[in-house]
Amino acid sequence: MSTVKNLRMDKAKKHIEDLAAANKTLSFAATANLEVAIKQTKKKVEMIAKECRATNRKFRDREFDLYVDVYDCLYFENAEKFETSGIKRVSQIFEKPQFFIDGSEYNDINQGAIGDCWFVAALAVITNIPSLLETLCVARDEEVGVYGFIFFKDGDWVSTVVDDQLFVNGVDEKKRPKLAFAKCPNENETWVPLIEKAYAKVHRDYEHIVGGFTGQGIEDLTGGVYTLTYTADILDTERFWNEELIHVNKNTLFACYRWDDSTDAKGLIDSHAYSIIRVEECEGIKLLNIRNPWGETEWNGPWSDGSKEWTPERMKFLDHKFGDDGSFWMSYEDFLKQWTIVDKCKLFDASWQVYSTWIHYNVVPKSNGKFILTIPEDSFTIIVLQQPDERFFSSSSKYSYQLSFRIYEQGCETYKFRSRCAVRMAPRSVNLEVKLPAGTYEIVPSIKRKNVEDEKTEGENQEEKEKKRNKEVIESIKKKKERRIKNLSTGIDENDESDIEEEKSDEKKKNEVWELSIGLRIYSQNRNFTLVGEEGEYPKKEEEVKKEEDPEANTEATEEATKKEKEGEGEEKKNEII
């Protein structure tokens, strides 16, 4: 990784580390900071549009210029990975371009030749909440070619702008350039490729948005709270339907994945994200409407298009039409058999308050950091423990971390509640929904770490050799990215000369180098909480560090889990969602 790119990521991480160092707690209504980000974005777009009209030039985003910095915008480590044949402006691709045509809906979205089905599925899911997507696409001037968007990253809203240059690959039957990545089925609608581009810019390049979980994409688009559930872990399936799935598109959004080659897929794609669009009960039968982000290739089991289950009355009741558009229905019984994972993202409105703070933390040697929460009255809370998103920061740490936490009443040695461990494949946060009686509580992190270097093989294949040969070229192209991520963290307009400051080197080494920063977010409709982060003293280095054991854990179960974890390590790469 280039020195410049490291500087850029370090600068972004400093935003969180500064909060940890200051032990500062932020408290705001769930939508209050959103309004600030919207105002900033509108101001950026307005200023850029004014400048462009004064000079009679379209907007060219120098921080994410596809034409000038093609490899920089496409790749982080790999080169020549995506199939593209050139870069064109919107006006060169579309005959009569229009950002939204009759609003936005899930059928507007088709995945392109990049493995971001998880993000495309997230876009499809949020279109089910009226005007939600339009809120994220804050401002635009289509004539000038400037578009402003906001995304929720690590507990805060970030703002970015992009121009209208897009990657293309070949031409269509009308000899017009074809989009290489995500697109709308309507040949003149432009919002899908542009929001995908903005999301890629926030994460430095298109390669950084390959592979992920739809729930995390929804969280980045809404500021909600994401939870991953294995269908095999659902204790009472009727309760899951009545208490969770039934709320789809109200205050909760859902997606699903299948990782099971042992059963007949009946047209479903393994290691692929799907959107849950609707749930209904028809003649006593529980049904789910699901969509493939490809916009084609559907389930062909019971309740699929043309199956014997359909009658004219049922088609009218469910407002369904046959056709290979990626949207299909299936029974809840088949859903539980076929899908491995359900992603859930809970949404919040202005009636909710969010409390957030960060601290420094060490796993080995272990520090005694914790969070102190005081609640004046009984309150329903959603508690989220998080670490900086690696997709956003691309941590150079040799360790990966698995988060969990316990809640103690102050003065008690036995915990009152505890979270589950974060899933290794989606490690950035873990949460717990719980009703807490009035009182003061200590929320104590419990974090495990794993050396990622252990997963690397000693052999070097041809692809890795090619990467090394291209290293100098790739690193030189990446320089502008360092400033881009810095600007997202500081609110600087990357296209305003007056806002860009020179980096000043600081060679002073700190005696205390903390292993990582962790943050806590608490959502509640109670507005009188007190939340304080206490990281404690920097731990002294020990000669030997004994492995921490869970006193509540069953030894036999722990050994069995360890065995399964080792067996599953080889499957993790397979399980990446593309």
The amino acid sitting at 86 is: G
The CA-atom distances, in angstroms, between 66 and each of 87, 181, 205, 572 are 7, 13, 10, 32
Map residue 250 onto helix, strand or coil.
coil
CB neighbours of residue 533 within 10 Å: 24
117 is catalytic: yes
| C-alpha span between 446 and 545 (Å, rounded) | 16
| C-alpha 182, offset from chain centre | 17
Placement of tokens 């101001």 in the chain = 43
Contacts of 557 (CB under 8 A, 6+ apart): none
Sheet strands side by side (includes 285-291): 225-230, 341-346, 252-257, 273-282, 285-291, 327-331
Query: In the beta sheet, which residues pair with residue 281?
Result: 286
Measured CA to CA, the distance from residue 163 to residue 49 in angstroms comes to 11
Strands 530-534 and 273-282: unpaired
Beta bridge partners of residue 179, listed in sequence order? 168
Catalytic, 320? Answer: no
- Residue closest to 199 by CA, chosen among 145, 153, 265, 237: 153
State how far Cα 484 lies from the chain centre: 19
Report d(CA 212, CA 210) in Å as an integer: 7
| Element holding 469 (H helix, E strand) | helix 462-469
Written as six digits, the tokens of 218 are 């929804």
Q: Is 357:486 a contact under the CB 8 Å cutoff?
A: no
Active-site pick, 15, 203, 272, 360? 272
Alpha helices in 23-150 (DSSP H): 32-55, 70-74, 90-93, 117-126, 132-136
Q: Pick the catalytic residue: 33, 110, 292, 487? A: 292
Greatest C-alpha distance within the chain: 75
Q: How many CB atoms lie within 10 A of CB 313?
A: 10
Amino acid letter at 5? K
Tell me the two tokens of residue 301: 């089991």
The two structure tokens encoding residue 465:
């050799």
Which of 166, 134, 164 lies closest to 150 in space, CA to CA? 134
d(CA 122, CA 203): 16
Residues 6+ apart with CB under 8 A from 160: 148, 149, 150, 151, 198, 201, 202, 488
Of 117, 137, 184, 256, the catalytic one is 117
User: Residue 234 region, left (φ>0) first, then alpha (ψ -120 to 50), else beta?
Assistant: beta
Q: 112: which DSSP letter?
A: -
Which DSSP letter does residue 356 get?
A: E
Does the annotation mark 292 as catalytic? yes
Q: Can you count the helices (H) and strands (E) in the chain?
A: 16, 22
Distance CA(175)–CA(171), nearest Å, equals 5
Tell me the catalytic residues: 117, 272, 292
